[in-house]
Chain A
Amino acid sequence: MGGSSPCASCKLLRRRCAKDCIFAPYFPPDDPHKFAIVHKVFGASNVSKMLQELPIHQRADAVSSLVYEANARVRDPVYGCVGAISYLQNQVSQLQMQLAVAQAEFLCIQMQQEPNLPAQIDQDEKSFLLSSNFNNNIPQYLGFASSSTVNQDPLKRESLWT
């Protein structure tokens, strides 16, 4: 009805907020920063195109991820989200190494305590035991080596959705 407040996007863009404004469901007027940051990084026009290409039920998640990426890019103008990916991939690698060491230690202790087991565990079985519990196949998300100067701070455990 008349007098309803324009959405944050239309306020920032200083235009009339149409009834079927594509931004209105996702950028309420009480959170102007959310649209401001997305507009700064992606641009309103690009965001509008991206949302229009998606079915309605996926747009809320798309907006959330765009806001997340925009925040990441503003915090780290050089690496953005890619910095976080690099950091997390390193964490995964380290944990998998620790897990492999722990599993090998477990096998050794087990073999010492049960001398009645066959003297040698089959190599294939050993390899299977060591590899079966973790995924060796981390997809290569990045096409370049991670840099030691990457800012690893803010995105480590941050909640992904606002």
Chain B
Amino acid sequence: MISGRCAACKYLRRRCPSHCIFSPYFPPNDPQRFACVHRIYGASNVGKMLQKLPPHLRAQTADTLYTEAKCRIQDPVYGCVGIISHLHQQIHIAESQLAKTQAEIAVLNSIAREAQVQEIEADSNFFNNLLPEEITAAGLRSYGYGPPSTQTFRFN
């Protein structure tokens, strides 16, 4: 039926057979889709590519051919490859930033650990320097060390 031609057969000005390879993927309401694909790949190459694939994969193939053809029309020098190149750059930048941030976290964590170690050493030195007579319950209380229910020691 002439009125039922797919976009490909309309573009190619031919009858659209009942088993037209293009018609499921290039409907007549979107003539630009086939025009793009034809401009870059040619109808014959597109037809061959679709024929070689099982039917359940052809729709996706037609979509990706259309995407790549659009990219190539928008960027005649690099096409899709320009996008791939840009994404590689973005990955490189993100990886560098991630490595930098992780290094900064490691630095902060090591500063925190160092501070903890110094605090423990300071406590240890304090107790080591106590005179024997100070190591009594009364002596410890005077430095703020009492039974757990009393005050908390704060070392200046």
Interface size class of A (residues with CB under 8 A): 35 or more
**Are A134 and B84 closer than 8 Å at their CB atoms?**
no
What's the least CB distance linking B131 to chain A, in Å?
Answer: 35
In angstroms, Cα B84 to Cα A142, docked, is: 12
Residues from chain B with Cβ under 8 Å of A96 in the complex: 94
Q: Which residues, 34 to 93 on B, are CB-close (under 8 Å) to A?
A: 39-42, 44-45, 49, 52-53, 57, 60-61, 63-65, 67-68, 71-72, 76-85, 87-88, 90-91, 93
**Are A99 and B97 closer than 8 Å at their CB atoms?**
yes
Interface of B is mostly: helix
**Are B108 and A110 closer than 8 Å at their CB atoms?**
yes
In angstroms, Cα B40 to Cα A68, docked, is: 15
Q: A79-B64, A80-B65 are in contact. Are A88 and B84 (CB under 8 A)?
A: yes
Q: A77-B49, A82-B64, A102-B101 are in contact. Are A88 and B87 (CB under 8 A)?
A: yes
**Are B77 and A77 closer than 8 Å at their CB atoms?**
no
Say if the beta carbon of A20 comes within 8 Å of chain B. Answer: no
**Are B41 and A99 closer than 8 Å at their CB atoms?**
no
**Are B45 and A43 closer than 8 Å at their CB atoms?**
yes
Residues from chain B with Cβ under 8 Å of A142 in the complex: 67
Residues from chain A with Cβ under 8 Å of B63 in the complex: 144
Residues from chain A with Cβ under 8 Å of B135 in the complex: none
Q: Which of A64, A68, A80, A92 contacts B87 (CB 8 A)?
A: A92
Say if the beta carbon of A160 comes within 8 Å of chain B. Answer: yes
Tell me how many residue pairs across A and B have CB atoms closer than 8 Å: 134
Say if the beta carbon of B95 comes within 8 Å of chain A. Answer: yes
Q: Which of A65, A91, A109, A135 has the most CB of B within 10 A?
A: A65
Residues from chain B with Cβ under 8 Å of A73 in the complex: 49, 68
Q: Which of B60, B81, B94 contacts A99 (CB 8 A)?
A: B94
Residues from chain B with Cβ under 8 Å of A113 in the complex: 108, 111-112
Complex interface: stretch among A6-14, A21-29, A53-61, A118-126: A53-61
In angstroms, Cα B8 to Cα A153, docked, is: 33
Say if the beta carbon of A143 comes within 8 Å of chain B. Answer: yes
Say if the beta carbon of B20 comes within 8 Å of chain A. Answer: no
What's the least CB distance linking A27 to chain B, in Å?
Answer: 17
Q: A62-B76, A109-B112 are in contact. Are A78 and B64 (CB under 8 A)?
A: yes
Give 14 new A-B contacts, CB below 8 A, not counting A64-B81, A79-B64. Answer: A40-B45, A42-B45, A46-B40, A50-B40, A69-B79, A77-B52, A79-B60, A80-B68, A81-B84, A91-B87, A106-B101, A109-B108, A157-B88, A160-B81
- A-B pairs with beta carbons under 8 Å apart, 24 shown: A45-B42, A50-B72, A61-B77, A62-B76, A64-B81, A73-B49, A77-B52, A78-B53, A79-B60, A79-B61, A79-B64, A80-B65, A81-B79, A81-B81, A81-B84, A85-B83, A89-B87, A106-B101, A106-B105, A109-B105, A141-B83, A142-B67, A157-B88, A160-B85
